[in-house]
């Protein structure tokens, strides 16, 4: 009988702990209209479990001369007119009114097959706080350059690392503004943050992915940010 009670107690303890782990980083329950600005499309990250989310789980609206995003699940957003080929520049400025905690936002290039399981793209995102936001002694401001080549987890070209060029959360209210750009040159891709090159990666090191293709915006989950999207220019 004692063994049975012990087992029951262990299950009772384990269940709340499992629930806590699942609830450790819940996705905000945003209620959108499911309608995107004219010409735009989106693709949610492949869900780790359960059904794929629906477009009404985010708010993506035209605001002034830019766009405002409130998420919701993580996703990429793109307009088919923003195609890059050869040598080109992709640029966007992100303005957050409050901290996005440990989450990230940024831009991507070279997108192909973005609506199916063979999707691929290279992306450049920043964290104005950090992966351990709020932990004493952890420096704020991180960058990540990564590639998605399927519905599997992305592979990092530049793992999450601190970078002094990130404009970090304001200590009073968490606001921050960061300008991100990707410049595709003849043989090299320059990743530019606030007008400074933070990485220059040879095209030969892009694991076979072409830089030609769709360009767009990447917004992780639980983010409230305004984006001045410049798109693709030569």
* CATH number assigned to the domain comprising residue 116: 2.60.120.560
Whether residue 36 is contained in a domain is answered as yes
Q: What is the pLDDT of residues 128-181, one digit of tens each?
A: 999 999 999 999 999 999 999 999 999 999 999 999 999 999 999 999 999 999
Total domain count for the chain? 1
Whether residue 2 is contained in a domain is answered as no
**DSSP notation for 134-155:** T-TTPPP-EEEEEEE-SSS--E
Whether residue 219 is contained in a domain is answered as yes
Q: Is 72 helix (H, G, I), strand (E, B) or coil?
A: coil
Q: What is the pLDDT of residues 38-57, one digit of tens each?
A: 999 999 999 877 888 999 99
Q: Tell me: pLDDT of 192 over 70.
A: yes
Work out the percent of the chain whose per-residue pLDDT is above 70: 90
The pLDDT value recorded for residue 24 is 64
d(CA 172, CA 149): 39
Q: What is the pLDDT of residues 53-87, one digit of tens each?
A: 999 999 999 999 999 999 999 999 999 999 999 99
Domain extent, residue 210, equals 26-233
**pTM of this structure:** 0.89
Whether residue 74 is contained in a domain is answered as yes
């Amino acid at each position: 009988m004692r063994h049975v009670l012990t087992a029951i107690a262990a299950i009772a303890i384990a269940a709340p702990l499992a629930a806590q782990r699942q609830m450790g980083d819940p996705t905000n329950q945003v209620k959108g209209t499911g309608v995107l600005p004219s010409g735009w499309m989106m693709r949610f990250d492949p869900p780790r479990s359960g059904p794929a989310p629906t477009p009404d789980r985010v708010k993506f609206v035209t605001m002034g001369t830019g766009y405002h995003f409130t998420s919701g699940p993580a996703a990429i957003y793109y307009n088919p007119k923003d195609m890059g080929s050869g040598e080109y520049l992709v640029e966007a400025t992100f303005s957050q009114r409050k901290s996005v905690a440990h989450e990230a936002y940024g831009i991507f290039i070279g997108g192909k097959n973005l609506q199916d399981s063979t999707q691929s793209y290279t992306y450049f995102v920043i964290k104005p706080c950090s992966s351990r936001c709020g932990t004493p002694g952890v420096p704020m401001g991180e960058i990540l350059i990564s590639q998605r080549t399927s519905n599997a987890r992305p592979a990092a070209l530049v793992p999450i690392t601190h970078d002094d060029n990130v404009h970090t959360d304001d200590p009073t209210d968490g606001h921050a503004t960061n300008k991100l750009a990707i410049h595709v040159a003849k043989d090299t891709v320059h990743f530019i943050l606030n007008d400074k090159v933070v990485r220059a990666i040879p095209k030969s090191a892009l694991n076979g992915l072409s830089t030609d293709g769709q360009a767009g915006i990447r917004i992780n989950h639980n983010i409230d940010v305004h984006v001045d999207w410049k798109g693709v220019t030569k």
